[in-house]
Chain A
Amino acid sequence: MTTITLPTVVRSPDWVRHLRARPTTVLASLVVVVALVAAFAPGVLTPHSPTTIHLQQTLRSPSWHHLFGTDEAGRDLFTRVVYGTRESLGIGVGATAIAMAIAIVFGFTAGLVGGIVDSLITRLLEVLFSFPALLLALLVVAVRGPSLETELIAVGVGSAPGYARMVRGQVLNVREAPYVEAASALGHRRRTVIRRHLFPNAFRPLVAVMTLGVGQSIVWASSLSFLGFGVPPPSPEWGALLDAGRDFITTSWWLEILPGLVIVLLAIAVTSLGRTLQHKLEGAAR
């Protein structure tokens, strides 16, 4: 099937062409923007309050008035989800930051120092890899006791080994790159080469990985909360909403499925943006 592109006289504006070329990216960006609005200005998206209790309107199913229905205390679920965004997004970003910090320290040390340090760290990562992330996170919760802080650390620690391995690989890749060799050959000091060439180039692909990681962290954090080890219930954090709704699963499906849907939507949107970013950055590196 061959398509012949005829020269067009009237060109559509840039944003229209972008929209046609990458509808998923546009859609994903839209979801992320809405999430950011919900996180910073929840009042814009909903007129209700997340804590007002209406005992005459408990467990109503979704309707125009209550988009996501109401919970056992008659609170508007949509409003609670909107107000929970800040905490959930914060946990996702925070946990990824913790994971990345650990990963960068280990990955760069292993990749730069090399030798016995490298093989020690690689071995350690291999060991940590044998613990599935959620179980590693649960071990952290058992040691520290459940709290917001623990949840951040647990998810961060749980996902760190994977990133660390990636960072190490990246550093090794860049170390072998011709431009690093050239810089060394030109007589630049090792520290300059690391600062000017190695660090930025090894770091660039990680931006995409971090974006992917935020989506993943949100899902993992909500899994922990779902098991009852997250932020305690009165909070509208998404995982906490899921945990609270479990008692009503046989009668009020919306309490579980709709907050879950929001988590899934955001996770998919963030993942898809991360992928796009990855392709772009890979293109730029070549």
Chain B
Amino acid sequence: MTILVEVPEPAVDPAGSGVDQRPAARPGVRLARRIVWKVAGAVAVVIAAASVTFFAQLAVPGDRATILLNIQTGQHQHYTAAQLAPVRKEFGFDNPLVAQWLRYIGGVFHGDLGTSYTQHRPVTQVVGGQLGPSLIITVGALVVAWILAIGITLLTVKRRPVVSALGSLWETFTACLPQYWVGIILLVIFSVDLHWFPVIGGTSVKGTVLPIVTMAIPLAGFLGQVTRDEFEKVLDQPFVTTARTRGQSDTGVRLRHALRHAVLPAITLSGWALGALLSGAVIVENIFGRPGIGQVLVTAVSTRDVPTVSGVVLAVAIVYVIANLLVDLAYALVDPRLGGPA
């Protein structure tokens, strides 16, 4: 369902230009510096992201201790200072704001995301067990989407006009599809009508198939669009002509020369895709009745348990930051140009 996405530009570290201007650092040193900067940048982003979720908790209108008690008791009333005091103390609301903020940020790096209003236990505990099942379908969907995207691109790009147009049409169409709609259609066809898969999937292997396919289809369309554009450009490159004149078959050219170049931009996008997939997981888990962060999140949003929502959102942001860091690092290692002067 993501149509409007920009390719995230590789983060330019502020000191990068300064580093590059120094005359004679050996490539290895330069690479190491680059990596240190990237990691530091990622840590800074996590701190800032945690600040956003911290202030979101303060942004809830009304007194937090009162809200908390009302949520827990399911009532709407005012409390005396004596009733509120123990809650304030327990959750640290009586500390100065800066101290609360520092504690929250510090906690994040120790795996502490605050305390749930409704369940009265650490958010990490509430989220922890649920992140696994969500990551399984997320990573699964990413893999399936890649296979679909590459397969369809290889088969249809720069073939007869009709075939190319069909492939392109398929990508435009699927890239627009909202995940909930794909999910419902698959559910109706394969679970309700054909009984191939269970209606409420749970974490069983059979129940995992449809959620993965649901998330993979729109993503495949999107990745396919990007890969196709690159592929078309690459097939016009001189080295492709050279390979053809050497007598290499069309399939050989596509697989050995063009594919490698064509997938690069889409690989950069995979880090971004992981974030988008994790939010797609929220919807898909809801449709297929699958445990995961989606269920936690939806319950927490409807009870307005802001610390838990913040925790889940922050956890996903951290996964996203780590994934992008890895993509960046992989790039820096693979592409020699990034290690050297720009």
Contact = CB atoms under 8 A, between A and B. Distances in A.
Q: Do A and B bind each other?
A: yes
Contact of A133 (B11, B173, B279): B279
A264 interface: yes
A119 interface: yes
B302 interface: yes
Given A132-B316, A222-B178, A143 B306 contact: yes
Contact of A119 (B2, B14, B324): B14
Interface string B151-176: 00000000000000000000011001
A129 B8 contact: yes
Contact of A226 (B11, B180, B192, B321): B180
A227 B301 CA distance: 10
Interface string A101-133: 000000000000000000100011011111111
Interface in A245-286: 249-250, 253, 256-257, 260-261, 263-264, 267-268, 271-272
Given A124-B48, A132-B316, A268-B173, A223 B180 contact: yes
A168 B53 CA distance: 25
A260 B179 CA distance: 10
A155 to B, nearest CB: 13
B4 interface: yes
Interface stretch (B72-80, B94-102, B183-191): B183-191
A123 B48 contact: yes
Given A131-B316, A166-B6, A216-B3, A242 B180 contact: yes
A134 interface: yes
A223 B176 contact: no
A126 B192 contact: no
A219 interface: yes
A124 B55 CA distance: 14
Given A132-B279, A134-B282, A139 B298 contact: no
A249 B312 CA distance: 28
A19 B35 CA distance: 54
B181 A260 contact: yes
B332 interface: no
A209 interface: yes
B283 interface: yes
B4 A213 contact: yes
A16 B297 CA distance: 52
Given A130-B321, A257-B188, A162 B176 contact: no
**Chain A contact residues, majority secondary structure:** helix
B49 to A, nearest CB: 5
B320 interface: yes
A215 B3 contact: yes
Interface string A157-169: 0010010011000
Nearest to B60: A143
A141 B310 CA distance: 11
Interface residues of B, number: 57
Contacts of A159: 4
B326 to A, nearest CB: 14
B178 A138 contact: no
B199 A250 contact: yes
Contacts of B278: 132, 135
B301 A264 contact: no
Interface in B10-50: 11, 14, 44-45, 48-49
Contact of B301 (A162, A229, A256): A229
Nearest to B278: A132
A230 B6 CA distance: 27
A260 B188 CA distance: 13
A215 B175 CA distance: 12
A136 interface: yes
A101 to B, nearest CB: 17
Contacts of A263: 178, 181
Given A131-B313, A162-B5, A216-B3, A143 B180 contact: no
Contacts of A131: 49, 52, 275, 313, 316-317, 320
Contacts of B49: 127, 130-131
* A-B pairs, 9 with minimum CB distance: A132-B279, A134-B279, A260-B181, A142-B309, A127-B48, A132-B275, A130-B317, A253-B188, A142-B301
Given A141-B301, A223-B180, 9 more contacts: A131-B317, A135-B278, A135-B313, A139-B309, A143-B60, A223-B1, A227-B286, A242-B180, A260-B185
7 contacts: A123-B44, A130-B320, A135-B316, A138-B313, A223-B1, A226-B286, A256-B188
